[in-house]
Structure 1
Amino acid sequence: MTLSYGVGNLEIPELDQTAEYLNLLGTENYSFNEFKNKLQKIGTSMSCSVDKNYFYISLKGFDKNFTESIKLVNEFVLNVKADEDKIKILIDSAESSRKIENEQPSTIGRALRDFVSMGDKSYYLRRMSVDDIKATEPNEYIKFFNKAMDYELDIMYTGKLSFNDVSSILKDNMALNPRPIKSNSPVDIEMKKYTNDLVYIVNDNQAVQSQIYFSVSGENINSKDRFISKAYNKYFGSGMSSIVFQEIREFRSLAYSAWGFYVRPNRNGKRGDFVGYVGCQADKTIDAISVFKDITFNMPEKPERIDQIKSSLIQTINSERPNFRQYPSIVRDWKRMSYFEDPRKKQVNYFKKMSFDDIIRFQKKNIENKPMVITIYTDMNQVNMTELSEYGEIIVLEKSDFIN
């Protein structure tokens, strides 16, 4: 069973450390070890986690002990006790993760891309800094936990108990908020709309490879666009038969990794965005950018592939049957996005009828000849900056600008 509260680290960034901290705590009545032992005696495990949209309390155990498990969850929710000694674990964990990030070019390249597209809403800036964690009192994390529990709660159970039994046990044994705050989740982070070609670059004299991202602001999406974008992604930038793979890697050997796809918002009526990536040797940066931009705007047309694309998309839908324990969360998200039946049914019907011209029209409407922003993490000594300036105004950043 999962208790899913309708707020995540996008709206309350401190919930990352809060979830980590809660997994180290006991309650006013039981120490951490005593509480864990009580759970273990009935074969139950409990953990807290968070993503950008939801805060979770996850429970695994036996149906025969469901009532006792819920009583222990309620004990934790109402009486969790802060422990100052455990704060050091949070600090050490954050310092360790920052050290690892600083040694991973792929993470730095991703953080640069996110900063340029999202600004201070980038995960790498909105999260708590190490100094923030050091300055936060233990009881403040309990307050963040309580704040998360003020939001709408989805309770997702999979097991053999009936709906009425689960509902009755929860009502009788767990404190539930009668007037929760309405959830905004799942939340779409609105990307910056690009109006000019720009190049953001970060120098690292030790970098052997370049991490290059390409971004184009698309148009507001509707249901048909949502379907076509999947076909476009399959054709252009996803998989070994895609245009990106063949043009960048297979034909020219310019990169060790390359892809490109159209990112869809959770809800119709909001803007989509094209995002592409090339990871290449630093001295191949200009060539890789040149080819990628060319095929993105002047997309090679291979209409003979349409039957293969349609078949692959339909086969993927038919074969990717979710694990039964995922059903509640999948249905929850569909409902929050205003679907009242499985949206994949309409996708299959559309894919059967679509033509290659649909992909072409989608690319021209949402991507072709729009302003492109490029972000690069590389050794600038190996890049011809004069040639690079042909792709837009160059803005040089430091890692400290986009990673806290």
Structure 2
Amino acid sequence: PQIDPVTIDPSRQSAFAAEILAMDFEPIEPSFVEADKDYRRITFADGVELFYAPNPLNDLFSLSISIDVGTEENDKLSLAAALMDVAGTDSLSNEALQKEWYRLGSSFNFGASENASGFSLSGLDEQFEASLELMMSAIKQPSTDSETLEQLKSILIKSRQDMKSSPPAIARALNLYNRYGEESPMLESLTTEEIRATQLDELLSLPGALLDYEHTLAYTGSLPLEQLVEVLRRHHPLAGDLKQPPAYRFRTVREISANEVYVVDQQTAQAQVRIEFADGEYNADDRVPASVYTSYFGSGMSSVVFQELREARALAYSASARYGQGSRLKDQNLMLGAIGTQTDKTADALDAFIDLIDNMPESEERFEETVTALLNRYRTSKLSFREVISAVRGWEKLGFKGDPRAESYARLQTLQFSDLLAFQREHVKNRPKLISIVGDLSIIDKTELERFGSVKEVAIDDLFVD
């Protein structure tokens, strides 16, 4: 049946809401991270930086070793990380190793992503040295047998086959294929034959070899910095020159001149629709307007997208959008929109979503509420001591020498509604869009989709590596 849109007046308030909002309160001043107070940074060795943040609450610690070497450099690192979960050391079986971690009250993990790998350790500071010694043994002398590796290979191959029948996995693979084409990460992962041909020795040698590269140590805990350095030097001695990490790989979104619609025919209860496009490289000047735009337009239940698509028009089970800035200098920005909709409403939902993106509803009152909410987030969302180091390292990748939020907080207070409208016009409005749809084509009319751009039906096998 035809559903008439509900007219929503966001300016209306109940008497109770008005009473609450009129209450007096003491304003909270924001708190920002300060070097040498909230954290310290020293050179541990040539090519090795050490970040230190004190834990003022208890004697729990966390330690990480981060290396800018990932699967782009060696695509078997992810397989080595999986093997480490079931491996032991040269003197402990995996079962005995797990018992030792339990006895120490510590946990250890190894993971690898496209451009980085990392080891993490956490536990009690009174067991820090023993835990560190055990971690180094696990990294440098991992041990298991070929039977364990073969079992792991079977599990990984089966899980990859299962992804081809999983709607969320298919939707993610389609999004990446539409975004990057043949350079989709899903198509660049290890093939089944490469997994089967992998030998035990080459995997066991990979974790320890990572420590031959320049890396970063990060510790949060109650040990004094001087004591920490002494313990680290005993169990993580470094001799000789360390290797330079490889260049960071920046993935580039496909360039298009008009909308393109990629569709996977899949019998699902609802259609999953994704709209996205790239928008140049990261620019620090856009930090504040980008965050305001995302909050105003697509993030949360008070945003334009949620209110219009779900609440007013009943076109969505879920709906959101965001303008995602690059995570480091030279990284691309990406505008993203996602909607889960009833399959027979796919064309209507897509039409409404594209119209909202290109012709954003303008409300000064919503803008003021958005700015107020963001200012309050700065005031009340103090970084915990456990979050400080990762935040600082993230800011450094974006070129900041210190906490950039102080400047952002000040700029937010002077931002005008016209600045938001200008950002939308310059960075979002009328851009060619990559549209990805996973849904039942016996219900979705392909000819209806053609009014949004050229339509290409994609086979599931084209999304995943064999």
Q: TM-score, normalised by structure 1?
A: 0.91
TM-superposed CA distance for 1:371, in Å, is 1.1
Aligned to 1:43: 105
- One-letter amino acid matched to 2:199: E
Taking structure 1 as reference, are residues 379 and 39 closer, same or farther at Cα in structure 2, changes over 3 Å only? closer
TM-superposed CA distance for 1:164, in Å, is 1.6
Aligned to 1:197: 259
Identify the match of residue 240 of structure 1 among 301, 304, 308. 301
- One-letter amino acid matched to 1:197: N
- One-letter amino acid matched to 2:226: N
- The answer as to whether partners of 1:18 and 1:142 remain within 8 angstroms in 2 is yes
Aligned to 1:355: 416
Encode CA deviations 1:41-73: one digit per residue, 9 max, x unaligned: 433332222344432222223323322222222
Taking structure 1 as reference, are residues 255 and 185 closer, same or farther at Cα in structure 2, changes over 3 Å only? farther
Higher mean displacement: 159-168 or 149-158: 149-158
Higher mean displacement: 232-241 or 68-77: 68-77
Taking structure 1 as reference, are residues 222 and 47 closer, same or farther at Cα in structure 2, changes over 3 Å only? closer
Aligned to 2:184: 122
Higher mean displacement: 249-258 or 73-82: 73-82
- The answer as to whether partners of 1:25 and 1:32 remain within 8 angstroms in 2 is yes
Encode CA deviations 1:59-95: one digit per residue, 9 max, x unaligned: 2233233222222222222222242122244234324
Aligned to 2:464: 403
Encode CA deviations 1:174-221: one digit per residue, 9 max, x unaligned: 2436433444698653322332221111112x2232111111232334
TM-superposed CA distance for 1:288, in Å, is 0.9
Could you tell me which runs of 5 or more consecutive residues in structure 2 were left unpaired when the two chains were aligned: 1-62
Q: Distance in 1 between matches of 2:348 and 2:424?
A: 23
1:56 aligns with 2:118: yes
Q: Which secondary structure state, in structure 1, belongs to the residue aligned with residue 221 of structure 2?
A: coil
Aligned to 1:345: 406
1:273 aligns with 2:273: no
- One-letter amino acid matched to 2:415: M
Aligned to 1:334: 395
Which structure 2 residues correspond to residues 5-404 of structure 1 after superposition, within 5 A? 5-98=67-160, 100-176=162-238, 178-183=240-245, 188-204=250-266, 206-404=267-465
Q: Distance in 1 between matches of 2:127 and 2:302?
A: 51
Higher mean displacement: 172-181 or 68-77: 172-181
Could you tell me which runs of 5 or more consecutive residues in structure 1 were left unpaired when the two chains were aligned: none
Higher mean displacement: 52-61 or 162-171: 52-61
Q: Distance in 1 between matches of 2:331 and 2:393?
A: 20
Which is higher, the Rg of structure 1 or of structure 2? Answer: 2
Taking structure 1 as reference, are residues 13 and 303 closer, same or farther at Cα in structure 2, changes over 3 Å only? farther
RMSD: 2.3
Higher helix share: 1
- The answer as to whether partners of 1:243 and 1:300 remain within 8 angstroms in 2 is yes
